[in-house]
Amino acid sequence: MKPKLFVLFAFAAIFLTLCACSTASEKLSVDASYSGKEVEVAVGGSVVVTLDSNATTGYSWALKEITDASVLEETGHEYNAPPPTEPPLLGAGGEEIWTFKALKSGTSTISMEYKRPWEAGVQPAETFSLTVIVK
């Protein structure tokens, strides 16, 4: 009788472990190919958005909107220049990395524009949007 009881407890433990797992990620990294899509992240987790950028052209990514700042918060933004080469590649592009923290359950959309900040009334060269579902 004891072996059957052990097997029953083993299956129960496996079942509870699988139920406790979440499909929401704690840290999710995305790039331009995710534009217009939805992703899921766990409360307390983060979304890292990496987009190609070239500071030598005057263009940069600007955060246009976070639709619900109580759900998602920007916590970091940096520009990574390309590594040095021999001979140097003048005008080579790098990437901008934006980090957002999931504060509470809900849905929020990030909207960004790639433009020259001093050019008023000009359409952005590129746009990026991502809907984040926080669970």
Question: Does residue 43 belong to any structural domain of this protein?
Answer: yes
Residue span of the structural domain in which 107 resides: 24-134
Question: Does residue 48 belong to any structural domain of this protein?
Answer: yes
The CATH number of the domain where 109 resides is what? Answer: 2.60.40.2020
Question: Does residue 10 belong to any structural domain of this protein?
Answer: no
Paired with 93 in beta bridges are none
Question: Does residue 35 belong to any structural domain of this protein?
Answer: yes
Question: Does residue 1 belong to any structural domain of this protein?
Answer: no
Give the Cα separation of 96 and 54 in Å (integer): 9
Report the domain count for the chain.
1
Question: Does residue 102 belong to any structural domain of this protein?
Answer: yes
Give the Cα separation of 30 and 38 in Å (integer): 11
pLDDT single digits (tens) 65-92: 999 999 999 999 999 987 777 766 667 7
Query: What average pLDDT score do residues 13-38 get?
Result: 72
Question: Does residue 14 belong to any structural domain of this protein?
Answer: no
pTM for this one? 0.77
- The reply to whether omega before 87 is within 30° of 0 (cis) is yes
* Least confident among 20-24, 104-108, 115-119: 20-24
From residue 36, give the alpha-carbon distance in Å to each of 5, 31, 46, 51, 73: 51, 11, 18, 14, 19
